Amino acid sequence: MTSLAGKVAVVTGAGSGIGRALAVELANRGARVAISDIDASGLEQTRALCGGADVRSYKLDVSRAEEFTAHAAEVLEDFGTVHLVFNNAGATLIGTLEHTEVEEIDWLLGINLRGVICGTKAFLPTMLAQREGWIVNISSIFGLVGYGGQSAYNVTKFGVRGLTEALWSELEGTGVEAVLVHPGAIATNIERAARHTVNAGKVEADLAARTGTMLVTPPEVVAGNILDGIENGRRRILTGKYSRSIFWLTRLMPNRYPAVLKRMV
């Protein structure tokens, strides 16, 4: 079993939600934490919640590769090394493909997928050199199933899943682990702050209203599950409402699950 005490962890999207909960729980377990977000005020609130732990904050736009490269250099200068990277920053776009402009998809890809790629690329060389590390990529239950009205979001979260599962093979024998997380129905602001497509209509409004009632799992529970999973050597972590049932649904009914999903949610 791995102990996180004394490890250096990087958490993106730490200004709220799962990222904030991860930062606090990492600090509680004795880790040193570099937290980042585009929201500077949210970061400072997170830092305050971490008490007297060694936590440093950095403003970061994860969609910009040059910012991530500079961020990695700054973190390594401040902490000396990095053991864990939590690629958590994300956004949501509600809309059917018909109602979604390509530019909107590009925006979402920049945060949800490009951000994960940039975070992995920025810190992986250090981990490979020291032959120790964990790349923890936050996907979603929508990286397990396709869901109408979330087509662009599905693309990004399936992309995170594909990248991480490919890393399982690429990193074999290196001492570096890739960990894939599928949270489901988490009570954070990501859905409440979701952007609707410019052409959104009744379909999108109904989906947003329905989704809002589903967000019941506290992010603190999710953060604890994620860190427990890492400490126990798991490389796929299912956490939150629906995550396990949806995982098995796609295995048992890969071609028929959309009809079942409609009844579930």
Catalytic residue ranges: 153
Q: How many CA atoms lie within 13 A of 139 on its CB side?
A: 27
Length of the chain: 265
Contact 257, 202 (CB under 8 A): no
Q: How many CA atoms lie within 13 A of 240 on its CB side?
A: 27
CA 173 to chain centre: 25
DSSP structure class, residue 121: H
Buried-state track 209-224, b at ≥16 Cβ within 10 A, e below 16: eebeebbebebeebbb
Residues 6 or more apart whose Cβ sits within 8 Å of residue 58: 34, 35, 36, 43, 71, 74, 75
The CA distance from 242 to 21, in Å, is 20
Residues 6 or more apart whose Cβ sits within 8 Å of residue 102: none
**What is the bridge-based pairing of β-strands 55-59 and 32-37?**
parallel
Q: Is 195 exposed, middle or buried (0-12, 13-18, 19+ CB in 10 A)?
A: middle
Three-state SS string over 208-245 comes to HHHHHCCCCECHHHHHHHHHHHHHCCCCEEEEECCHHH
